[in-house]
Chain A
């Protein structure tokens, strides 16, 4: 009898028990202790002490390469671990509105309707600015393609469907452009990169403005949808004849060629840090930092660039997390900026940093500012 009892006991409890062990195992070995394997921080032993604080953020894929680098570095010098999921700016806006994350991230400005839907006031804290590269995959053509705003708009409107169209070849004399069909790749998710891109197209093409418009997700006339900057870059890399738009870091890290665009002053400019930095020069920044930088009048500017923001509630409801968040933001716009240029993101200008400092200082918990500086 006891033998049978034992067998039942095993039968019923074995698996949940196993599960419980797994949970315990996961708990004990899963917590990241600041030292990531493969990374050696020589000499510096500022081992964070005390309990670790977890922040969850979600949103823009545009600054994801930068954020994952910054946050990983930050976790080494602080007791804050940031789990950032790059689900797209639309997702960032939505999830911070639903309060399922501690902060959101977007490269598009929230619309009035979106701000109204949020339960409280959300600040747009700029982190960096970057360029949206127009990437392509043409056999035998790894550099040097030039495009104008009209052509880009018509390609994305599907009015121009062959790469060797006379309008493209006339602009690129001496460049051997193959006869591939143009596979127009766009974002399938709600995206700030899309916001910047369609913001630019709406400024330069009346037809685009009327037919499609400017938003984080629009009604695409194009062919193929990819999820995230990652997905678009992935599709462009896979499909011969594809054109897409991704943040510059995704193009350079993956050796995907990108086009030079004719800017407002008539110069052909390739995306770069300098060309992105130039975009913001001569622009009067508003105090709330909600400004689009596309189609800049600066002669050296790349026309499709913009800020990317972290979205945070001005009134925080959790003191510990709120404090961790403002410290993270403060660090990001100062010390954290140095991680931008290696990944081709342009650092914030002195003016931008000053205005952003004021924004971060305005974040409060129970009426008290959270930042103690």
Chain B
């Protein structure tokens, strides 16, 4: 009988450990970031100087780089993912769908560093020529596509991130679309709509909040992605309007500087970047979870009107 008292307590402790861990992460990071927090205050988020000599640290270029690469990744990956998810759920004959599903899920299992090495040796040369050549020659009047064409830079980082979040967004969107009750589709088809119209007007709107959740989930992954980005982004601390320019993300900056930072304030500033990154990803993940949860919790087939 004593087991019945002990066992739930033990499992409770394990569950508590998860919450404690989360709190400990926030606490520990805040403690170490304190000198930087006190020294720079809110100016840390808007400062554009990162100078270890004068000990002046501002994180804006890293924040900017993180946002630009992540948005670029979404811009590329979201249409592809939704298209692929529609194909998997609505169009593909079951065996084909299974195979493609399987492949896409494998894509999700490939480690980040492998994307990095592939990006460095295969993608970057391709981005330099033809991609940057074509974009620069034909759209060079836009500030986005100006500047020297080195291959490494924000554009390459955005593309590699897109490939990396593709499986996650596809798989989640697929699950969301599967949840759309068939009655919705049948009703639409019965009205004489084509298959595309059914998807566009009934399926996607029905799953809208879930799909948005899937996209934000992808965003969360892109924001924190480190190794592949570090290997292709060029690690230069500056804000440039051009996608060709080398840049820096919060994660890549930590990866290349954290073990090497020499002064306490420098370390503290890097930890504060980590804290900002943590804050942003927590926010994004919480949003995504709420949206996806709500969408997939509603039991499929039951009318929600």
Contacts and interface: CB of A to CB of B under 8 A. Distances in A.
Nearest to B151: A239
B259 A217 contact: no
Interface string A224-249: 11110000000100110110000000
A183 B149 CA distance: 9
Given A219-B53, A223-B236, A190 B264 contact: no
A113 interface: yes
A219 B50 contact: yes
Interface string B205-243: 000000000000000000000000010001111000000
Interface string B108-141: 0000000000001000110000000000000000
B13 interface: no
Contacts of A130: none
A215 interface: yes
A117 B264 contact: yes
Contacts of B151: 238-239
Nearest to B245: A223
Nearest to B147: A181
A148 interface: no
A188 interface: yes
Given A190-B52, A227-B256, A239-B150, A114 B235 contact: no
Contacts of B53: 212-215, 217-219
Interface string B258-286: 01111110010000000000000000000
B51 interface: yes
Contacts of B261: 90, 94, 190, 217
Nearest to A218: B53
A71 interface: no
Contact of A224 (B51, B52, B150, B259): B150
Contacts of A219: 49-54, 237
Contacts of B263: 113-114, 117
A88 B234 contact: no
B257 A223 contact: no
Contacts of A188: 235, 256-257
Given A219-B53, A223-B148, A224-B152, A90 B256 contact: no
Interface in B43-91: 49-54
Interface size class of A (residues with CB under 8 A): 35 or more
Q: Is the interface on chain B under 10, 10 to 19, 20 to 34, or 35 or more residues?
A: 20 to 34
Interface in A121-176: 161
A223 B234 contact: yes
Contacts of A93: 262
B158 interface: no
**Interface residues of chain A: helix, strand, loop or mixed (majority):** loop
Contact of B246 (A88, A161, A212, A225): A225
A113, A188, A226 — most chain B CB neighbours (10 Å):
A188
Contacts of B50: 219
Given A91-B259, A213-B53, A215-B53, A235 B236 contact: no
A95 B259 contact: yes
Contacts of A235: 152
Contact of B234 (A190, A215, A225): A225
Contacts of B125: 238
Nearest to B125: A238
Contacts of A113: 263
Contacts of A226: 235
A189 B236 contact: no
Overall SS of chain B's interface: loop
Contacts of A95: 259
Contact of A216 (B120, B262, B264): B262
Q: Give the one of A191, A217, A218 with max B CB within 10 A.
A: A217
Nearest to B230: A227
A114 B262 contact: yes
A94 B120 CA distance: 29
A222 interface: yes
B259 A183 contact: no
A87 B49 CA distance: 24
A191 B257 CA distance: 10
A224 B148 CA distance: 12
Nearest to A87: B259
B129 to A, nearest CB: 10
A365 interface: no
Interface string A184-199: 0000111100000000
A225 B148 contact: no
Given A218-B53, A238-B124, A90 B236 contact: no
A217 B260 contact: yes
A107 to B, nearest CB: 13
A94 B234 contact: no
A220 interface: yes
A186 B279 CA distance: 30
Contact of B148 (A181, A212, A216, A217): A181
25 contacts: A90-B262, A113-B263, A117-B263, A188-B235, A188-B257, A189-B256, A190-B52, A190-B261, A215-B52, A215-B53, A217-B52, A218-B53, A219-B49, A219-B53, A220-B236, A223-B148, A224-B152, A225-B237, A227-B235, A238-B151, A238-B152, A239-B150, A239-B152, A241-B148, A242-B150
Interface of A: 87-88, 90-91, 93-95, 113-114, 117, 161, 181, 183, 188-191, 212-220, 222-227, 235, 238-239, 241-242
Interface of B: 49-54, 120, 124-125, 148-152, 230, 234-237, 245-246, 248, 256-257, 259-264, 267
Given A94-B260, A222-B236, A239-B151, 6 more contacts: A183-B148, A183-B150, A217-B257, A223-B234, A224-B152, A227-B256
